[in-house]
Amino acid sequence: MGIVTSFTVGNKVIDLPAREGSVGPSVVDISKLYAQAGMFTYDPGFTSTASCDSKITYIDGDEGILLYRGYPIEQLAEHGDFLETAYLLLYGELPTSQQKDDFVYRVTRHTMVHDQMSRFFQGFRRDAHPMAVMVAAVGALSAFYHDSTDISDEHQRMVASIRMIAKIPTLAAMAFKYSIGQPFIYPKNDLDYTSNFLRMCYAVPCEEYYINPVLSRALDRIFILHADHEQNASTATVRLAGSSGANPFACIAAGIACLWGPAHGGANEAALEMLAEIGTPDRIPQFIARAKDKNDPFRLMGFGHRVYKNYDPRAKIMQRTTHEVLNELGIKDDPLLDVALELERIALHDEYFIEKKLYPNIDFYSGITLKAMGFPTDMFTVLFALARTTGWIAQWKEMIEDPSQKIGRPRQLYTGAPRRDYLPLAQRR
Ligand code: SDX
């Protein structure tokens, strides 16, 4: 711990200690600033604020680097699978063969949900947005699993973590089936995590469902890409909710609610809608012009990122996966992909996007792939939430087990009315 800066307030000099990470920017510890200087720091959107220290995910936005527990996302996506990645995020190391078998066994045997959950869905309209259903259903898990909500009990924390990772695909598939009026399909324990999810989405009781190994592998890789991403908005939401001692199911429901926003996980749905609205490559220039027009709220969905000021490494892998899926499905020319590729080409050569360092992010290509796989647009963010649940649980667990953890409670710059006395009704004008 070294002194980084002396902070001068009036004639008072305050030394602020610093901390260095294993890689990446150091931090100035300002936790004592208010006590010593009577001032807060001010950073809406937390563009320069570290809310915690973490060992889980590292991002170098300038270089376009993403590491899960030190392993590059490219290598995990190429050589690993989603449950192995979940183990890595949760426990910090890649599992041995025995550890992996045990983890897969435990997750697999928690994939069923309490059967009354199926009646829970009946309360929704069939055309309810699946994300609305997911926020409610995941929050409702705490009404069914009282035996794993005591966060002070390590065993209950682990049971809740396993239950959450295991049941999120089942609930996501139920939300999908309910929206299309088909019966729920139970999980099958002889299937891997992602094949099980695909079967719960697309099988029907009338016939056996063939699992396409190429599509299952592609979706499993997509889940790896979405599993965690440092202190993004929804992860910060889960941590803040968890800091009050709320049970993990409620915290994950809060994360799902935050992820739904079009500036965050909702961008994959918005990006596909944007590509469909553009329709053909010749209409791209007018949308590029709108994206650059300060008076137009339109933004290129799937472009730009708070941290990446280089190409999102996940987007590159996502693009390759898109081609792989379209080839497997025999889709020779997908008009949406044509628009996406041309839009990317134009934007990456446009001064505005170059100057503002706006590159495609993970949401730019994912929608094309998921649509080709048969998912409706309103299920895209549900799939993002399915994968990110593992990262949220890992971050929640790390926060709960951090001995320095305390309830998160930001302050503010007050710009409202100073103290004033009540004005009787008769005197108001
Ligand atoms: C995810 O944080 C994470 O890690 C998130 C995520 C994860 O895995 O958890 O990576 C997942 O959420 C990816 C991002 C998905 N969202 C979108 O694709 C929506 C479109 N993108 C933008 O809304 C925006 O880029 C954000 C929200 C992603 C980032 O916004 P910032 O960091 O707050 O940046 P900003 O809004 O201040 O923009 C900086 C400048 C602005 O211009 P000026 O006011 O400086 O003149 O860049 C412009 C913006 O107008 N800009 C864009 C743009 N994004 C930013 N202009 C056109 N199109 C865009 N997409």
Q: Is the CB of 302 under 6 A from ligand 1?
A: yes
Q: Name residue, tokens 């937390």.
A: 46
- Ligand 1 atom 1 nearest Cα: 264
Alpha-carbon span 82 to 388, nearest angstrom: 11
Q: Is the CB of 263 under 6 A from ligand 1?
A: yes
Ligand 1 centroid – CA 60 distance (Å):
16
Q: Is the CB of 260 under 6 A from ligand 1?
A: no
Model pLDDT for residues 63-104, shown as the tens digit of each residue: 999 999 999 999 999 999 999 999 999 999 999 999 999 999
Per-residue pLDDT of the chain (429 residues; tens, 9 = 90+): 565 678 888 888 888 999 999 999 999 999 999 999 999 999 999 999 999 999 999 999 999 999 999 999 999 999 999 999 999 999 999 999 999 999 999 999 999 999 999 999 999 999 999 999 999 999 999 999 888 888 889 999 999 999 999 999 999 999 999 999 999 999 999 999 999 999 999 999 999 999 999 999 999 999 999 999 999 999 999 999 999 999 999 999 999 999 999 999 999 999 999 999 999 999 999 999 999 999 999 999 999 999 999 899 999 999 999 999 999 999 988 899 999 999 999 989 999 999 999 999 999 999 999 999 999 999 999 999 999 999 999 999 999 999 999 999 999 999 999 999 999 999 999
Q: Which atom of ligand 1 is nearest to the CA of 312?
A: 10
Ligand 1 centroid – CA 359 distance (Å):
10
Collapsing DSSP to helix, strand or coil, 279 comes out as coil
- What string of H, E and C letters represents the secondary structure of 117-140? HHHHHCCCCCCCCHHHHHHHHHHH
Ligand 1 centroid – CA 354 distance (Å):
14
Alpha-carbon span 367 to 318, nearest angstrom: 10
Contacts of 27 (CB under 8 A, 6+ apart): 18, 19, 21, 50, 53
Query: How many residues would you count in the chain?
Result: 429
- Ligand 1 atom 13 nearest Cα: 264
- Ligand 1 atom 26 nearest Cα: 305
R_g of the chain, CA atoms, integer Å: 23
Tokens of 244: 């009050």
Residue in 69, 5, 65 with CA at minimum distance from that of residue 41: 5
φ and ψ at residue 160, rounded to 5 degrees: -65, -40
Q: Is the CB of 303 under 6 A from ligand 1?
A: yes
Ligand 1 centroid – CA 306 distance (Å):
6
Alpha-carbon span 367 to 214, nearest angstrom: 18
Whether 317 contacts 225, CB under 8 Å:
yes
Q: Is the CB of 266 under 6 A from ligand 1?
A: no
For the chain, how are helix, strand and coil distributed in percent, rounded to 5?
55, 5, 40
- Ligand 1 atom 54 nearest Cα: 304
Q: Is the CB of 267 under 6 A from ligand 1?
A: yes
Strand order in the sheet with 27-28: 2-9, 12-19, 27-28
Q: Is the CB of 366 under 6 A from ligand 1?
A: no
Which residue numbers are catalytic?
Answer: 305, 363
Model pLDDT for residues 141-161, shown as the tens digit of each residue: 999 988 888 888 999 999 999
C-alpha distances out from residue 38 to 9, 30, 308, Å = 9, 12, 34
DSSP 263: T
Residue in 31, 398, 107 with CA at minimum distance from that of residue 242: 398
For a substitution probing ligand 1, which of 293, 295, 356, 389 has the most ligand atoms within 8 Å of its CB?
356
Collapsing DSSP to helix, strand or coil, 243 comes out as helix
- Ligand 1 atom 7 nearest Cα: 229
Q: Is the CB of 358 under 6 A from ligand 1?
A: yes
φ and ψ at residue 60, rounded to 5 degrees: -110, 100
Q: Is the CB of 219 under 6 A from ligand 1?
A: no
Whether 198 contacts 217, CB under 8 Å:
no
CA angle 59/63/65 to nearest 5° reads 40
Residues 171, 175, 180, 186: what is their CA dihedral angle, to the nearest 10 degrees? 10
Residue in 365, 363, 375 with CA at minimum distance from that of residue 321: 365
- Ligand 1 atom 31 nearest Cα: 306
Q: pTM value?
A: 0.96
Ligand 1 centroid – CA 300 distance (Å):
9
Tokens of 26: 């150091």
